[in-house]
Copies of this chain bind each other. A is one copy, B any other.
Amino acid sequence: MRIALDAMGGDHGPVPNVAGALQALGTTPDLTVVLVGDRAQIEPLLATSPDYPADRIEIVHASQCIGMNEKPAEALRAKPDSSIGKCWQLLATKAVDGLVSAGNTGAVVAGGLFTRKFLKSVHRPGIATVMPTAKGRCVIMDVGANVFPKPRHLLEYGAMGSAFAKHMLGIDRPTIGLMNVGEEEGKGHDLVQETYTLFRNSSLADRFVGNIEGGDIHRGKVDVVVTDGFVGNVIIKLSQGLFEFVMGMVGKEILGALSAEKELAARTLQGMVQKYHYSAFGGAPLLGVDGVCIICHGSSKERAIANGLGVAAQDVRIGLNEKIVAELEALPAVTA
């Protein structure tokens, strides 16, 4: 399979992207990576790894690059030859099966909205993210593509997140919860109240456990957390910041208290930080587009890029989009 990688995306430019591509090629034999970006910067990086598999790596030149803080829609229009825009063109023309980018998340999402190649029955794509919980892992959707969704979008996120949890995380019958401020029906604002009713009357009703609260996520109460992109974005960034804060405090207190076993404790904590770092989770898929799109963290290094390519390859291999379409087609028709 062929995956386009935005070689210019992220805080660190082409270096970790090219290194991550080479790492992924080493572990994924059926993968071809199309590096999209400035050929003059990419070729010297490849040349430093003379034994790379040249038959499974290609370069598609893009003369422009969208900065991490540019306004997405404006930047895409102003830079028709951007690496992100070109990745989407490759996907839209089926020249690749998927794309991976650590670039400006808003621009990656906007690129998907502009091409308008959505899966059948999808009204708006959303970003899914995997989080560790006390019971294993859960999927949260949406985490930032759609900050003011309609109830129907959230219902579709439940269906898409459910297909992802089943086929990518191996959870047999994923349970779905709606993020709210309390468990009882009738809690929260109009959006969640209307969404609650939609779920209760849908083909997902038997997997829908109802409203959940913020504290339920990491306790592992459900397998799929449905929420709007504003709340979801706060959730993933807060989780990362709080994890760093707590681990920092623990490190200080534990290492300050211990003596003989200080080194052992430090190594153990370091192992935990590695295990729960976002780079271990392989990027976040933009689900609902026709093709595979994996969005990596802006600060991604080699390992995170390689994992993102690995996840993209797996999505293609198992035909995740066909599973999503099947799940969506079972939903009730949209009434005006």
Which residues from chain A sit less than 8 Å from chain B, CB to CB?
Answer: 69, 71, 106, 133-134, 144, 147-148, 179, 181-182, 184, 186, 188-190, 213-219, 229-231, 233-250, 253-254, 257-261, 264-265, 268-269, 271-272
Contact = CB atoms under 8 A, between A and B. Distances in A.
Given A71-B186, A245-B218, A269-B254, A179 B239 contact: no
Contact of A245 (B144, B219, B264): B219
Given A215-B237, A250-B250, A261-B265, 16 more contacts: A106-B182, A133-B245, A147-B189, A179-B234, A213-B234, A214-B241, A215-B238, A230-B231, A231-B231, A231-B234, A234-B235, A238-B239, A246-B247, A249-B272, A253-B269, A260-B261
12 contacts: A134-B245, A181-B230, A217-B241, A217-B242, A218-B245, A219-B244, A247-B250, A254-B268, A254-B269, A257-B268, A258-B258, A259-B261
Query: Is chain A's binding surface mostly helix, strand, loop or mixed?
Result: helix
A65 to B, nearest CB: 18
Contacts of A71: 184, 186
A261 to B, nearest CB: 4
B272 A264 contact: no
Nearest to A134: B245
Contacts of A242: 217-218, 238-239, 242-243, 246
Q: For A231, A238, A254, A259, which residue has the most chain B Cβ atoms within 10 angstroms?
A: A238
Contact of A189 (B134, B216, B230): B230
Contacts of A148: 189-190
Given A147-B189, A218-B241, A272 B250 contact: yes
A144 B214 CA distance: 12
A168 B194 CA distance: 40
Contacts of A188: 147, 230
Contacts of A186: 71
A230 to B, nearest CB: 6
A326 B87 CA distance: 55
A258 B261 contact: yes
A184 B268 contact: no
A182 B147 CA distance: 11
Contacts of A253: 268-269, 271-272
